[in-house]
């Protein structure tokens, strides 16, 4: 797997969690995966503060998936 830019992964994940006129529910499953990939890439790049933020967003995604009623 080619290493993706973690900033782009964060932007993709943020876009999936935003509600719009055409997207009425957030896609937390895919967003969480992007956040985790970005966090890992930041960690390998020794950008620990950005990795922490990405892991926190991934954690929120996991919470949202666990509380999803379906």
Residue 48 lies in a domain: yes
Residue 39 lies in a domain: yes
Residue 40 lies in a domain: yes
Residue 37 lies in a domain: yes
User: What token pair was written down for 40?
Assistant: 């890992």
* Range of the structural domain that residue 55 is part of: 6-17+26-67
Residue 1 lies in a domain: no
Buried residues in 21-43 as b, exposed as e (16+ CB within 10 A): eeeeeebbeebbbbbbbbbbbbb
User: What token pair was written down for 16?
Assistant: 């999936």
How many domains does the chain contain in total?
1
Digits of tens for pLDDT over the chain (70 positions)?
A: 446 899 999 999 999 999 988 888 889 999 999 999 999 999 999 999 999 999 999 999 999 888 766 5
pTM: 0.86
How far apart CA 65 and CA 29 sit, in angstroms, is: 7
């Amino acid at each position: 797997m080619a290493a993706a830019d973690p900033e782009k992964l964060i932007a993709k994940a943020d876009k999936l969690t935003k509600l719009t006129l055409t997207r009425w529910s957030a896609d937390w499953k895919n967003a969480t995966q992007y956040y985790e990939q970005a966090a890992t890439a930041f960690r390998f790049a020794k950008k620990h503060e950005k990795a922490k933020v990405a892991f926190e967003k991934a954690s929120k995604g996991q919470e949202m998936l666990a509380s999803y009623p379906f």
